[in-house]
Every structure is written in C-alpha cells, then in structure tokens.
Structure 1
C-alpha cells in the first residue's frame, strides 16, 4: 500500500514538471506531447492512490485530470474524470464528491445529455441523504433530476424523484408542497392500469399531510380522493384518516393512539407515516395541558 502511494506521488511530481517545462526551440514543434504524457502519468497515479485506498488523493488527481481535459477542450474526458473523482471522494469527502458531480453535470447539460445529467443529480441527492443529511439540498437535486427526466419523456423516473421530494417536503413540514406532488403522482398512476393500485399509498400520504395542517382539511381530502379513486375511499387508510380526524377534533389522544396501533398491527406503518402521525398526536392537548 505504502509503495503504491509513494509511486503515485513520484508520478504526480514528474507530471507537474512535464507541464511546467518549457518546450524545446521555443515551442516550434508544439507542446501537446508533454500534456498527453502528463495526463497518462496522472491517470496512473490516480489508480495507484485507489490501490492504496488514499481516496482523497485519488479524487484530487482525477479532478486534476478533468481540469486539464476541460482546459484543452476535451469535454467528454473532463466529465468522465469528474465522475471518477466523485466516486473516490464519496469515501472521504461527500461535499467534494457532490461538487465534482456538479462540474460533470454542467458539461453534460451544455452538451444536451440531459438523461445522464439527471442520473448524476440523483446521485448528488443521495449523497446529501447520507451522514450529516441536508434534506433541502437533497430535495433540490431530486427536483433537478425530475425536471431533466421529464424533459426527456422519462416520466416514470421523474415521478420517482418527485416522490422523494414529497417525502422530504413532508418531513420538513412543507405540507402543501408534499400534497401537490402526491396528488399529481397519484393522478398519473390512475391513468395506468399497471400503476393504479399505487395511487392508494400516494393519497394516504397526502391525507396525512392534510391531517398535519388541519383535521377538517383531512376530512375534505378523503372525500375528494374517494371520488377520484373509489378503492381509496373504501380503504383502511381512508377509514384511519377519518377516525384520526375525529379524535383530533374531540381531543381524544387515547382514541388516536388506539386507532393508530390497531391499523399498524394489520398494515405496518412506514417511517414517513409514523413521523407525521406523531406530529399530529402532539397537537392534541392532554389533561395536564388543560390545567
């Protein structure tokens, strides 16, 4: 490992000398060869750093290669190496990994390669979902990804990204935004015989967001969604929302808890569901609060 790292550093030093050396005869025969030699040395160094598991150094080297390609107008090679740099940085510096991918995205969008740009926006979003999560940035990149996918008529991929936006909007208490997305994706699902059943979950999530805003809101939403999709109106999910809305109005926290537990014992609630349900429950005054 140490030997690979030492070889990599020697190669980088040699490559930098190649780039700064003055060409023979005042550049009469051009200096393209020295840049190609330097790029080859940087590439070998980057792979040696990977073998030594020096991910930060590998990322910096791939980024250096990308910068040189970009300077020389080789945009495809520049973008590829920014992506390679990002892959290495993911293991050591997530923020720099995202920054390198953004540089690649800028190149791909300028070249009109929107599908690959969309996929890289997804990857950046996933980075921001990780340690030290930044949900606002994750939402932004999922939104960007969805916009690019939709522009390329990849509506299924766009909706998957928008569902992530809705989930994080709900968690960040941006309920109106989440509701709008869930309703839109549910409407799209109803137009497909294969996807129709999934509309029930999206309407359920939208209803929970309504319940976080206001119990009466939730009741009206259930009626509206039931008209759009009768199977939802008759579902256990719709009945749960109706029951919970009533317990909120009656300020009956015990009935709220009992209804939630009964539902969960049959149909397991997901983390998103429980997060919103706990918020609603906290809005119900308990006896101590009324004293």
Structure 2
C-alpha cells in the first residue's frame, strides 16, 4: 500500500510538472499545450486510483478534483462532472462537506448541460449525506426539495414523490406540520389515481392525520373524515380507526386510553421511529394541557 502511495505522489508531481512546463513556439504550433493538459489529467486520475487502493480517501478526492478542474478548463464538461462525482465518492468516507462541494460542482455542470435528472439524483445524494452523518435535517430538506423539483420537470413523478415524502418526514420532525400535511395529502391523492399505488394512500393519510393531531384535535377529526370521503376504503383500515380512537381519548383527556390504543395497534403493526416520535409529542402536549382542543 505504501508503494502505491509513493507511485501516486510521483504521478502528482509529474502532473504538476506538465502543467508548469513552458509552452514554446513548437508547442503552440502543434498543440503541445493541450497534450500536456491531457497527460496531466491522466496522471491525476491514475494517482487518484492508487490513493483509493491505499484508502487515502482525501488525497484521492483531491486528485479527482484536480482532474475535474482540468477537464473543465479544456471544455470537457461531461468528463469534469464525472470526476467531481468520483471526488465526492472519495470524500464521502472522510469529509462530508467536501463531498457535498464536489457534487455541487457536478450539479452546476449538469444543469448547464440540461441534464436535470442527473442533477436531481445528485441533489438527492447530498440530501442523504446531510440526513446521515452530518445530521443536518434543514439542509437535507432543501436538497430533497430541489431534487423533487428537477424530477417533476423531467416527468419522473415517482422519484419526485419519493423525495417529497422525505421532505414531509423531516418537516414533521422539525415541527413544520402544515408543510408535512400538505405533502402527505398531495402524495396520497396522487396515489389514488393509480390502481397500483392506491393502497399506499392509507399510510400517507395516516401520517397527515397525526400531523393534524399534533396541531389541533378538531382539525384532525375533520381531516380523517375528509380522507375517508376521498378514499372510502380508508374507513376499514386500522389506521383510520386508530386516529378516531385517539381523538376520542384526547377529547375525554383519557391519556391512559390513548396510550393503550397505541400499544394495541403496535402489537400488530409495528410503529417506526417517526410514528413513535410524533405520538409521544402528541401525548406530552395533551397531557400537559388537557384543555388543548
């Protein structure tokens, strides 16, 4: 591995030498400058791969960025974008912000080329980076929204909805319930237009109802009846019945009944972390202020 790194360093030095070599009359006449640029790019790419073999991710990322910059100088947009993505994949293992920065450069190129699906996918990757180790939900939401916008523009409705559902999930976690409700209702309505996706609507109506319940009990009661009118089969679902029961217990300030209803549901259909977080907030909210109606 040390041998690979030594070779990589030699290639970097060789690339730098090619870029700083004087460009005389014959070089200009026969395009020697362009040849040296191409050779320097090749050196950086080879060095990057050697650094990757040695798991020196930062150095590998830097070499890919250098190669990308040179491609951009030469007007090779596609190659530049590809190398920025390569750099991002390396930085992803050690430097999240550098990984993001490299992807943003690739996105700038792809949008300039009119390749919005590629730009959308990379915004989605950035969103995933921010929701992961970086744990920055606000920025994650921004990039999921941008990805969804580009996907919609390219008629990729399924991909756009997938991103918007992430926005709704995190909006609710950040207590922006109105935004979450709007998205869940829109996605649920779009599911009803598809015979294949219709059954998925119950989950999104359920999530929207819980967001309503986080804000106002009366609104939640009106919302689930509205959802049942849109999707009559929803009334037969356990999710609809649970929300109805929770509303009844909260109306009576019966926190114990509220808790038991959730336990009964969870014993059959496991509630994930998002649901438990929202339900615990609702319980705490009404427990502290039983007159909240």
TM bucket (normalised to shorter chain) is over 0.9
Which structure 2 residue ranges, 5 or more long, are not aligned? none
CA distance in 1, matches of 2:265, 2:187: 25
Pairing partner for 1:138 from 137, 140, 155 = 140
Q: Is the 8 A contact 1:247 1:253 kept in 2?
A: yes
Which structure 1 residue ranges, 5 or more long, are not aligned? none
CA distance in 2, matches of 1:116, 1:40: 25
Q: CA deviation at 1:27?
A: 4.7
What is residue 8 of structure 2 aligned with on the other side?
8
2:210 pairs with 1:181: no
Pairing partner for 2:80 from 63, 78, 81 = 78
CA distance in 2, matches of 1:271, 1:224: 27
The C-alpha deviation readout for 1:99-155, integer Å capped at 9, x for no partner, is 111110110111111111111111111111111311111111111111111111111
2:145 pairs with 1:166: no
Q: How does 1:95-244 map to 2 (within 5 A)?
A: 95-244=97-246
What is residue 22 of structure 2 aligned with on the other side?
22
CA distance in 2, matches of 1:82, 1:285: 52
CA distance in 2, matches of 1:21, 1:162: 51
Pairing partner for 1:45 from 44, 47, 59 = 47
What is residue 91 of structure 1 aligned with on the other side?
93
Question: Taking structure 1 as the reference length, what is the TM-score of the superposition?
Answer: 0.95
Q: CA deviation at 1:26?
A: 7.6
Q: Is the 8 A contact 2:96 2:134 kept in 1?
A: no
CA distance in 1, matches of 2:111, 2:28: 37
Q: Could you say what secondary structure the match of 1:284 adopts? A: helix
Q: CA deviation at 1:188?
A: 0.5
CA distance in 2, matches of 1:266, 1:43: 54
Question: Taking structure 2 as the reference length, what is the TM-score of the superposition?
Answer: 0.95
Q: Is the 8 A contact 1:252 1:284 kept in 2?
A: no
- Higher deviation after alignment, 251-260 or 170-179: 251-260
CA distance in 1, matches of 2:114, 2:151: 12
CA distance in 1, matches of 2:252, 2:285: 12
Q: CA deviation at 1:28?
A: 3.7
